[in-house]
Each structure stands twice: as C-alpha cells, then as structure tokens.
Structure 1
Amino acid sequence: MTNKSSATAPRQIAVIGAGMAGIACARTLVQAGHNVSVFDKSRSAGGRMSTRSTAFGTFDHGAQYFTVRDPRFALALETAKGICKPWSANSVRVLDTFGRVASAALPSRDPHWVPSPGMSALVKYWAKPLADDGRLELETQVTRIERDPMNKKQWQLRTTGMPGTPDAQHVFSGFDSVVLAMPNPQTVDLLQNSAQAARLVRDIHPVQVAPCWTLMLAFPQAMQPTMAHLGPQWNAARSNHHRIAWLSRESSKPGRGGIERWTVQASAAWSLEHLEDDAPRVQAKLLKAFTEVTGIRAEPAHAAVHRWRYAQTVQPLGKSHLWDEKSSIGACGDWCIGHRVEDAFISGLEMALAIA
C-alpha cells in the first residue's frame, strides 16, 4: 500500500486575518483540497475593505475602490459577477491647499470598481463558503502560536474571545501550517510573542506603513427639494490640504443610497502627528478642513471618525509573501508589494501557491 506524499495530502492550515489577503489565501488553499480555518478579531470579514453602517447609509471608511491589472485577479472576480460595479471617479480632481481645483486628473487606464452595497461585500462573498462550513472564527484574536503538545510537528493557536463571549479563551490545535495575513506590525508582534520564525521578523523589519484618520459625514438635508446641490460638482478628489489627502462623495457610488455622505481621509503626515489624539479633537479639526476644501458649511447630521493605525504602505517588503519552510509559517498582505486591494489579493494568492 502506498501513502500519499505530504505534497499532495490535504493539510490542516490556519490563516490569521480575514481581510482580502487572508481570504484570497484561504479560498485558494481550499480549492487545492486543503482544510483551512480562518481567524479574525473583527466582527466580520473584510479588513480594510470595510463598510460602516449608519442610520444615514453606509461609508467605505477604509479602501475607497479598487482597480484590476493582474489577469489572476480579473479571473477571480469572474466568480463574483454582479457584486462589483464601475464607479465614475476616473475624473477625480486634484485640489490645491485652498480647496480649489488645480487640475482634473488624466483619465485612468484602470477603471475604478466598488463592490455593492459596500466595499466589504466582495471579501464577505468569498468568505461565505468558509463561514458556512464553520471554518471562519470571528471576534477571535490569536494571542500565541505554539507547538501542539500532542504532535510536535503541528501547531496550536491560543485565542481570546468568540462571538458573545469576549473574555473566552480557547486553544485550536492540529495545524500543519500557519499563515499570518495581518498588518506587518501585528504580524511581528505575534511572532515575537510566540518566539517563532525569527527570520520572518528580520525580513519584515524594513517595511513601513502609515496611519490614517478617516472622517465620515452625512447631510440628509441635501435631499430637500428646496436645497441646492450641496458642495462641489465632483465626486472624488485628491487634496494638497495639509490635513486631507482624499475626499469622496459616498452617495455617488453605485448601490449606496441617495443621502449625501462624504468620506474624508487625512494625510499620512497629519495622521501620524495626531495618531494618539482623542477622537472628538480629530473630528473637529478634520471637519474644519473639510469645510475649507469643499465650501460645505452645513452642519452634518452624522459625524464620526475612525483611526487606521496601519493604512497605507510606504516601504513595501518587495516580494509577494514570506514563507519559512522549516517552521511552516508564512506571512502575506498588501504591505508585501504595495497598498492596493489587488496587491493584497496577489499576496494571499501567491502565499497559498507556495504552500499548496
């Protein structure tokens, strides 16, 4: 009788992180016949492809859109027909420091796409088979990776939290490989806390990722018949204002509802300078800058801010993923090759291919 080789036998694999990179990695491994469990500390899959729901509609407070350049990403999107729709933001404006239109950006060769009804919809769609199979552990934070005492060649994960019981502690065991699909600082922290894969830690060290404060505003009064069009005529702009890098009219995106809503993303430099400021102070400063840039002086019915500590890659790793064959631990994420949604997908895909 001949046993299957370890290269072809199904493996038990843990993926930590349910953003685009983690789900792309997990779905590829499942397609290759492996058994995969995904863990994430958040309440839903998506990572920075996030959607905030409010009484006034949704906000894409992380990634604003995506483009498609790699044929492998285009092929994967064929499995999610109808979810992603084009967004007419190719005519994005570039604003000077006073909020005046300095120029209209040249038409992009890459159409801008947004999932509907929110940016998180695509990742959630790809994660659904895992969730349906009980392989998606949400509200569960992995605190330590260690050898399985029952089988020293395998790994076990110590976790805190689970839906409804945030203080619960649990151990998930029997994994042949572990993939960390998280922001690079969190990946380093978990590896160091677990005293594992020192080589990966050294390789990740040069990577730099900038933070971002995001402001979300809603103006339902703009829907009144007597109200003139609120604010500028453009739907998206890059800004040279010292506080603001990007603005977009959420309600201009397909499938988002008609209430006037804006998402404002602060510049990396300003976000870093004010990283530890309290939320009300950040909100007041960004709202003032929003008024300066757009000319909108109406009082928003809804205003909120969100801080992304790890938002945009400044210095990438320079390759699609990291894989320590000796320990069977890997790492992936957009920070490996860039900051685009597609970068996260390609990183997760190639991480899975290295394992499978």
Structure 2
Amino acid sequence: MTNKPFTDSFFEPAAQRHIAVIGAGIAGITCARTLVQAGHRVTVFEKSKGAGGRMATRTTEFGGFDHGAQYFTVRDERFEKALATATGLVRPWSANSVQVLDDLGRVVAASLPAKEAHWVAKPGMNALVRQWAQPLLDAGQLVLDTRVVYIEEDKLDPKRWQLQTDGPGAGVHSGFDAVVLAIPAPQAHALLRDSEQATPLLADLAGVNVAPCWTLMVAFPQAQQPTLSSLGPQWNVARSTHHRIAWLARESSKPGRGPIERWTVQASPAWSQRHLEDDAERIKGKLLKAFTEVTGIRAEPPYASVHRWRHAQTTKPLGKTHAWDAESRIGACGDWCLGHRVEDGFVSGLEMALAIL
C-alpha cells in the first residue's frame, strides 16, 4: 500500500496473518490499513456500495448532503498525522456561528467562538474514508455490497474462522486468523449472538447504547449563493431544543460545496427513537413542519428526503478504545467505544489494530 502510515510504531517481523474486518467506516478502514502496513493480509467486508459508514454524503442533482457526521475535530496527534496524508481533502469549516434555539426558532444563546477547529472533507464527508480505502479496493481487499451474516470455525482449519455472506457476492470466505467487527455495537452483538459465539465480547457490547437519528435533507434551487441572499436565518448552524430537531446546518456554508441553498436537519435521539418505525413520508412531513418553525423558511422545497440511521449517536460508550478477545481472536471497534466523534472511530480502529499486532 503506497499511502503513508498512520503511526510511526514499528513491529518485529512476524508470520503474515489474514484478518477479516467487517465494516468499512473510519474505524474499519483505519484498522485495516494499519494491519496491512504491518505486513498482514486483510479483507474488509462492507454491506453498502461504498466505504464511509456514517461519514456519508447523499449526492443529488442539487448538490451533496452530509447526512451523517457533520464535521470532525482533531485532538489526537495520530489522527492529525493521518489527516496529513489526505492531501487537498480536509478543510476548516467556520461553524462558530452556532446558535442555540428554542422551539420557535428564537436564539436563546449564542455560542462563543469555537474552542477548537471544525473540519470537513470535501466535496463531501465521505471523501476522506473513501480516499483511505481506495488502495484496499484497488488491491481487491475491500469487498463491497456484501453483508456478513455468520461467523464460524473454518471447516478445513478449526484454528481459523470463516464468514458466511449474502449480497451479490454471497458465499463463504475462509482462512481468517482473526475477525474484527467494525460496526455499531448492537449489530456486532447481534452477529456474535446469532453466530453462537460465546465470547466475553458479548457482555461488553451489551452494555453499549447507541441512539437512532432521523435526518431530513432539503434543497431550494431558486436560492443560490452568492448571487441571491440566503433564505431564512442569517446563521448557518444551530443546535436546537425543539422537541423534534437537535441540529441544523446549511450545507452551502461548508467549504468545497455547491452554491444551492441546502439544509441537513437531524432529529433528536429521543424523538428518533419514539418514531423509529414510522413511515418515511410521515417523518418527512413532521420534520419539514419543524424545519419551518425553527428557520422561518416557508417556501416548499423542490427536494426533500429523509434517511434513518438506526445506530447514530452513542449515549453509553464502552469506556475503552476497543474490545479484544485474544482467546477467540475476535475484536470489535468503532466510535461507540469512546463516544460518537469521528476521531473516536479513528482512534478505536488504530488501537484495535495495535492490539492484534
């Protein structure tokens, strides 16, 4: 792999192992890259059509929407070093115009200038992980559109693991010395339980809570910056105490985005949980009404869509960087180990790889 390493740590030469990583979000890709850089074989399985996880971007004819993670901060020097390999992708976002709003959209508190820089990837948040994942994809080490449904002992070598998958490439993949679950804790717990793997990881994972999030995306192509003044409020970002909405961001305020007026609106964890199984059209109507109440924008958006994240914001983290069962050689990592920040996912994936090494 030609990309620069994420860490300066060096390891004694060891026999090459083959490790399966389930999930191609920032934790999974960070873990996989670190293992490859240490000389091991890795195969990453991702159920979606591209890498990124919740560092996601919805592409539309009106421009992109970062409908998952909105931005990231940089506190760990290893993350800072890794970002230096993403030439031209990472830009600061002047999001210190954040306001705190009440149910009627009135500003009840204005945030002070941000204590730390807010960063985004361009042209969308998914660009960062996808760049890091590209060498794996080129080498045939990233298998997309493939869901792992069962983990079991390798039929030919009981000391190793094999994975059953569904999707276009459904089948059995065997010969793995270790398995890493870089997916949300509830999904990792369900996969291990359904695979009848009696590992101590089950207790660790059962203690993690991750809340859902309904996200609304709206576009107003009649309003473009800078030729026309923005619709609605003068602020670009807000946290809200509205009973439905927790966060709003004007996408065109982010660097490297298109000029069409677009908003990403994230519902609160509590409201999302209560309405988790509601019909998408009903959710869209309720969030559009709340969006109007908060922003004062009464124009009908030509584009409006919703996305449901079943596992979005960690409310009770694991409390350590990763979970690793050395006896079974199964591990788990993700932002949920430490919190819900993008950097938490990176650190977790890196520490997971170091534990294996």
TM bracket, shorter-chain basis: over 0.9
Q: Is the 8 Å Cα contact of residues 49 and 62 (structure 1) preserved in structure 2? A: yes
Q: Secondary structure at the match of 1:142?
A: strand
Partner of 2:6: none
- 1:274 equivalent in alignment to 2:275: yes
Query: What is the alpha-carbon distance in structure 2 between the residues aligned to residue 31 and residue 90 of structure 1?
Result: 37
How many residue pairs get aligned? The number is: 347
Structure 1 pair 224–97 and aligned structure 2 pair: CA distance change class (3 A): closer
Query: What is the alpha-carbon distance in structure 1 between the residues aligned to residue 142 and residue 225 of structure 2?
Result: 44
Q: Secondary structure at the match of 2:328?
A: coil
1:291-330 aligned within 5 A: 291-330=292-331
- 1:344 equivalent in alignment to 2:345: yes
Give how far 1:198 is off: 2.6
Query: What is the alpha-carbon distance in structure 2 between the residues aligned to residue 40 and residue 13 of structure 1?
Result: 14
- 1:41 equivalent in alignment to 2:42: no
Partner of 1:122: 128
Q: Is the 8 Å Cα contact of residues 192 and 198 (structure 1) preserved in structure 2? A: no
Query: What is the alpha-carbon distance in structure 1 between the residues aligned to residue 68 and residue 226 of structure 2?
Result: 32
* Greater displacement, 94-103 / 341-350: 94-103
Q: Is the 8 Å Cα contact of residues 103 and 293 (structure 2) preserved in structure 1? A: no
Partner of 1:92: 98
| Aligned equivalent of 1:155, options 152, 161, 170 | 161
User: Which residue identity is paired with 1:32?
Assistant: A
Partner of 1:223: 224
- 1:135 equivalent in alignment to 2:136: no
Q: Secondary structure at the match of 1:246?
A: strand
TM-score calculated relative to the size of structure 1: 0.95
Partner of 1:144: 150
User: Which residue identity is paired with 1:324?
Assistant: D
Question: Aligned residues: percent identity?
Answer: 68
Q: Structure 2 regions of 5+ residues with no counterpart?
A: 1-10
Partner of 2:83: 77
Q: Is the 8 Å Cα contact of residues 197 and 327 (structure 1) preserved in structure 2? A: no
User: Which residue identity is paired with 1:292?
Assistant: E
Give how far 1:10 is off: 1.3
Q: Is the 8 Å Cα contact of residues 250 and 263 (structure 1) preserved in structure 2? A: yes
1:192-203 aligned within 5 A: 192-203=193-204
Partner of 2:8: none
User: Which residue identity is paired with 1:302?
Assistant: Y
Query: What is the alpha-carbon distance in structure 2 between the residues aligned to residue 270 and residue 150 of structure 1?
Result: 49
Structure 1 pair 117–227 and aligned structure 2 pair: CA distance change class (3 A): closer
Q: Deviations over 1:133-184 (max 9, x none)?
A: 001000000010111111111111110113xxxxx52111111000000001
Structure 1 pair 137–301 and aligned structure 2 pair: CA distance change class (3 A): same
- 1:65 equivalent in alignment to 2:71: yes
User: Which residue identity is paired with 2:189?
Assistant: V
Give how far 1:227 is off: 5.7
- 1:206 equivalent in alignment to 2:203: no
Q: Deviations over 1:184-233 (max 9, x none)?
A: 11001110111114310011111111100000000011139996431111
Partner of 2:181: 180
Q: Is the 8 Å Cα contact of residues 199 and 325 (structure 2) preserved in structure 1? A: no
Structure 1 pair 95–346 and aligned structure 2 pair: CA distance change class (3 A): same
Q: Is the 8 Å Cα contact of residues 197 and 329 (structure 1) preserved in structure 2? A: no
What is the root-mean-square deviation in Å for CA atoms of aligned residues? 1.6
Q: Is the 8 Å Cα contact of residues 199 and 328 (structure 2) preserved in structure 1? A: no
Q: Is the 8 Å Cα contact of residues 101 and 109 (structure 2) preserved in structure 1? A: yes
Q: Is the 8 Å Cα contact of residues 213 and 306 (structure 1) preserved in structure 2? A: yes
User: Which residue identity is paired with 2:33?
Assistant: R
Q: Is the 8 Å Cα contact of residues 181 and 332 (structure 2) preserved in structure 1? A: yes
Give how far 1:96 is off: 1.6
Q: Secondary structure at the match of 1:209?
A: strand
- 1:191 equivalent in alignment to 2:197: no
User: Which residue identity is paired with 1:55?
Assistant: E
Structure 1 pair 123–197 and aligned structure 2 pair: CA distance change class (3 A): farther
Query: What is the alpha-carbon distance in structure 1 between the residues aligned to residue 292 and residue 155 of structure 2?
Result: 59
Q: Secondary structure at the match of 1:196?
A: coil
Q: Secondary structure at the match of 1:21?
A: helix
Partner of 1:236: 237
Q: Is the 8 Å Cα contact of residues 181 and 333 (structure 1) preserved in structure 2? A: yes
Q: Is the 8 Å Cα contact of residues 146 and 170 (structure 2) preserved in structure 1? A: no
User: Which residue identity is paired with 2:296?
Assistant: G
Q: Is the 8 Å Cα contact of residues 197 and 324 (structure 1) preserved in structure 2? A: no
Query: What is the alpha-carbon distance in structure 2 between the residues aligned to residue 48 and residue 338 of structure 1?
Result: 14
Q: Secondary structure at the match of 2:130?
A: helix
Q: Deviations over 1:34-82 (max 9, x none)?
A: 1101001000000000000011100000000000001110011111121
Query: What is the alpha-carbon distance in structure 1 between the residues aligned to residue 225 and residue 129 of structure 2?
Result: 35
